[in-house]
Amino acid sequence: MAHLLRTTLLLAISSLSFTSLPGCAGTGDGPPPIEASEAALIGEWQVEELDGQPLVASSEVALTFGLEGAFTGDSGVNRLRASYSFEGGTLQVSEVMATRMAGPPELMEQEARLMSALAQARGVEVSGDHRLRLLDAEGEVLAVARAGPAPR
């Protein structure tokens, strides 16, 4: 009986230890994060979700994190430009400049959610399934994107 109790306790402690390590606890939304570095962030990303909601049908939203802190994007209506820094695991996107074109109300609302997500983004997760998750300061997912250019 004592042996069974000791084994159960050891298993419980070891599982708590692994889930408390950064990057070891999965979210259930795919493979666990494999990297949270600027090198993993650099590239073109196609946004699939904003605030847990899929994009408006037939819309394409792209984010590109370039070298030396250059950020560009396409909201589906307007082109975006900013700078970013990624230091100590914290992402900071400068105020985003955008062209001033108008679009359908649903795309303009989606663009507003994208701009809000970029302003609030403080963390990044890049997972083995080539998904980027932008996180707020509390670790809540603001946006999910997949690696690569938009299909043409």
Q: What is the pLDDT of residues 40-67, one digit of tens each?
A: 899 999 999 999 999 999 999 999 999 9
Among 26-35, 114-123, 132-141, name the one with the lowest average pLDDT: 26-35
Is the separation of the CB atoms in 92 and 77 below 8 Å? no
CATH label, 34-147, candidates 2.40.128.270, 3.30.479.10, 2.40.50.100, 3.40.50.1970: 2.40.128.270
Structure tokens at 91: 């992402």
Q: For residue 90, which of 32, 36, 147, 130 has the smallest C-alpha distance?
A: 36
Q: Tell me what pLDDT residue 11 has.
A: 34
* Confidence tier at 8 by pLDDT (50, 70, 90): very low
Averaged pLDDT for residues 70-96: 95
Which single residue is written with the structure tokens 């403080």? 122
pLDDT at 140 over 80: yes
Work out the percent of the chain whose per-residue pLDDT is above 70: 74
Q: Tell me what pLDDT residue 89 has.
A: 87
End-to-end Cα separation, the chain, in angstroms: 64
Q: Tell me what pLDDT residue 17 has.
A: 30
Q: State the Cα–Cα distance between residues 90 and 101, nearest whole angstrom.
A: 31
Q: State the Cα–Cα distance between residues 43 and 147, nearest whole angstrom.
A: 7
Q: For residue 117, which of 138, 94, 135, 90 has the smallest C-alpha distance?
A: 135
Q: When comparing pLDDT for 34 and 11, which is higher?
A: 34
Domain extent listing, the chain: 34-147
